[in-house]
Structure 1
Amino acid sequence: MINVFQQPPQGIQTAPHEPRILAAGHQVAVREVDLEGVADKEGLMLAFLRGLGLTDHFGRNWDALYDVLTDPDARPVRFALVLRDYGHFQARHKQLGPQLQQVLLGAQAEAAARGRSLWLLAEEPDHDTRHW
């Protein structure tokens, strides 16, 4: 199996097993955003605030999220974002899902244009805890 970090970032990819260990060997910084309990846009922005270690000054909107993901002073040159429960989030949120994807892919393209790498790694929980 090819290590995801041996290739340039290519959209939203399935997270490898033990992404932090693999990333460390390739000098890639990793942060994790847990989308499992997100119910609305405010919850989504709070998940990114926590996952990225942002301050309360984070604007909690799409433009602010794009800006923090593309800020060369705030993000390392080689950076991976692990999106926990991404597939389930997309299935649950028919409007928020595509909006988030657009911001993430736009930030990834901007990073690449600046000679930087932003991996977007979708990771699903090991067990199904959803209650319908």
Structure 2
Amino acid sequence: MIQVFNEPPQGLQVAPHEPRILAAGHQIGVREIKFGEVHDKDGLMLALGAGLALPGAFGRNWDALYDVLTDPDRTPPRLALLLCDYADFRRRHPHLSQELEATLLDAQRSAAEQGRDLWLLLEEPDSDPKAW
């Protein structure tokens, strides 16, 4: 299996075993977003704010999230978002997850255009990589 951090980020990817240790070895910052208790957009924005350690002034909307993820002054040049319990969130909230994924993928493309890396890693113990 190809080690995910040896290649440029490519959409949503299944997280490797021990992603934090592997990321540290590649000098990649990791931010963990926990989706287990998210039930609506407000909860999602709070989870993102907590996981990204954003100030209370964070706009809590898709544009503000995109701005944070593409701002070289706010995020490291090599960043991995570890999306925990995302498959269950996606099943429970398909419309909300669709909006989130569009924003994350746009931010990933923009980061790449800036010469930066933004990995979007799904941490699911029994995940099927082909499902993504």
TM-score by length of 2: 0.93
* TM-aligned CA deviation for residue 115 of structure 1: 0.4
Separation in 2 of the partners of 1:28 and 1:45? 23
1:17 match: 17
1:86 match: 86
Runs ≥4 residues deviating over 4 A:
none
Counterpart contact for 1:84–1:125, Cα < 8 Å: no
* TM-aligned CA deviation for residue 14 of structure 1: 0.3
2:50 match: 50
Separation in 1 of the partners of 2:87 and 2:107? 19
Separation in 1 of the partners of 2:76 and 2:32? 15
Counterpart contact for 1:14–1:121, Cα < 8 Å: yes
Aligned Cα RMSD in Å?
Answer: 1.0
Corresponding residue pairs, total = 126
TM-score by length of 1: 0.93
Residue type at the aligned position of 2:32 = E
Gaps of at least 5 residues in structure 1 are 127-132
* TM-aligned CA deviation for residue 3 of structure 1: 1.1
Counterpart contact for 1:66–1:104, Cα < 8 Å: yes
